[in-house]
C-alpha cells in the first residue's frame, strides 16, 4: 500500500503558510510510509522530539484498481470510496526542510501521521468534487473545506501521479488541506465530518 499526499492544493492555505497566494504549476506530491497509517480509532501519540505538530484535515480517496498512465477522463474509475483524513505535519521540520530544498518525508511521513476515517462509497455522491468537509478540535470547528476549491482536482491528481507510480488497489490519496491548520496538543479530540456525517475521531496522547 502506498500513501500519497498533495501539498499546496488550496490557495488560501498557501497564503496561511507563507503569506502569498502561491499556485504551483504542477501538483506537489509526497509520500508517507505505510507505518504512518492511523486507523480504527487508535490514538495519535504526539511525538515529543519533533516540535510543533499541526493537524491538516483532507479529503482522502481509496484506489480500487491497478492503473498506470491513467487519462484524466478515466481517472474516476480508479477510486471507489472517500473519507476525511488528517495529515499530521511536523511544521518546524517542514519549514526547515523547505528552506534547505530537502524532501518532506521526515516531517510528513512519520509513524501515525496519516489518520484515516470511515470509508463512504463514492456512488453515494453525485460528484465528489463538490463535497464539503470539516474538522472539529475539542468540539470547535477549525477547518472547513470544499473540494471544488482544489487547485488540482482529484481526477487530475490521479492522472498526474499515475505517470510516475503504478497505482494499486488499496493505495490512498490525501488530496490537500484547506485553510485553518493548527497545532495539536495532548488530550485534544479531533473529529472529521464529510457532508455533515462524522467519519473520523482521533484522540491525542
Residues 75-112: pLDDT tens digits? 999 999 999 999 999 999 999 998 999 998 999 999 99
* pTM for the model: 0.95
Q: Is the pLDDT score of 19 beyond 90?
A: no
pLDDT interval class at 183 (50, 70, 90): very high
* CA distance linking residue 202 with residue 95, whole number of Å: 25
Cell numbers for 176:
490537500
Domain positions in the chain are 3-204
Residue of 55, 180, 176, 194 lying closest to 134 (CA atoms)? 194
Assigned superfamily of 3-204: Fumarylacetoacetase-like, C-terminal domain (3.90.850.10)
Amino acid at each position: 500500500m502506498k500513501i500519497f499526499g498533495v501539498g499546496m492544493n488550496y490557495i488560501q492555505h498557501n497564503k496561511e503558510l507563507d503569506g502569498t497566494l502561491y499556485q504551483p504549476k504542477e501538483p506537489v506530491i509526497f509520500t508517507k510510509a505505510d507505518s504512518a497509517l492511523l486507523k480504527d480509532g487508535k490514538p495519535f501519540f504526539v511525538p515529543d522530539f519533533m516540535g510543533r505538530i499541526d493537524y491538516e484535515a483532507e479529503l482522502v480517496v481509496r484506489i480500487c484498481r491497478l492503473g498506470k498512465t491513467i487519462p484524466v477522463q478515466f481517472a474516476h474509475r480508479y477510486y471507489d470510496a472517500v473519507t476525511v483524513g488528517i495529515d499530521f505535519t511536523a511544521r518546524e521540520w517542514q519549514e526547515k526542510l523547505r528552506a534547505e530544498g530537502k524532501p518532506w518525508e521526515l516531517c510528513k511521513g512519520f509513524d501515525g501521521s496519516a489518520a484515516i476515517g470511515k470509508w463512504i462509497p463514492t456512488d453515494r455522491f453525485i460528484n465528489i468534487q463538490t463535497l464539503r468537509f470539516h474538522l472539529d478540535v475539542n468540539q470547535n470547528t477549525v477547518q472547513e473545506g470544499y473540494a471544488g476549491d482544489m487547485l488540482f482536482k482529484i481526477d487530475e491528481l490521479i492522472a498526474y501521479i499515475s505517470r510516475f507510480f503504478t497505482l494499486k488497489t488499496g493505495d490512498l490519496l490525501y488530496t490537500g488541506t484547506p485553510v485553518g491548520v493548527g497545532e495539536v496538543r495532548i488530550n485534544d479530540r479531533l473529529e472529521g465530518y464529510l457532508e455533515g456525517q462524522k467519519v473520523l475521531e482521533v484522540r491525542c496522547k
